[in-house]
Amino acid sequence: MDIPRHASSRIRINKFFTQHGICSRREADRLIETGRVTINGRVACLGDQVGSEDVIARDGQVVPWGIIPVYIKYHKPVGVTTTSESHVYRNIIEEIGHRERIFPIGRLDKDSSGLILLTNDGDIVNDILRTEFGHEREYVVDVDRRFDDVFLDRLSAGVVILGSRTKPCRTERIGRQRFRIVLTEGRNRQIRRMCQALGYRVTGLHRVRIMHITITGLGAGVWKDLSDDERQELLRAVGRKPV
């Protein structure tokens, strides 16, 4: 069902666009600055506030108030690129082919596989990705040669990459050249860079969990809606009231 809104509840026009899964706030600001957005027939200005009684249009097309929130999980195979740019071969949006306009929450390298979440709820993205919330992401990693416990201890304590030390994390050996790692931050190619800094090359990287949501039972290339329990726990975890 559509999300009800009270007429007196007003939000900034750029937030309206993110809540409706149309684009980021920065992209919305560009639309507004170039005169492509109107409110009740007049050209919108940056900082304008709107309520459910207003008629908002982009390029002359009315954007209706109230959307059905979509939260899905996808088992990304190696070779799929985490981008919504349509010109990119095997982009994640094209691979999924969802009827709604959705976008990924965070990234997963083209050479990596595993769990990624997608949504049309623009506001929830930053809440999930903000490192101060400490939301966990769990990976299974293969490296190019055997390692000892010192390697895992050094990963757990933090490794200097991109000019600063990574946050402490949890690690566990699950094979001669395979280990499990749980991060609470998501720097660019973080695990690969951490291993490289310690003299190892990652040969396989597979994400199996984001927060409480796991990849269990989800085949490669398959997506599904979050269950009611998964969705409600996700909303609670970012301080939202479950709906």
Residue numbers annotated as active site: 109
The separation between CA 28 and the C-alpha centre of its own chain, rounded to angstroms, equals: 19
**In this structure, is the dihedral angle defined by the CA atoms of residues 87, 92, 95 and 98, taken in order, positive or negative?**
negative
Say if residue 83 is exposed, middle or buried (CB neighbours under 10 Å; 0-12, 13-18, 19+).
middle
Separation CA 53–CA 78 (nearest Å): 46
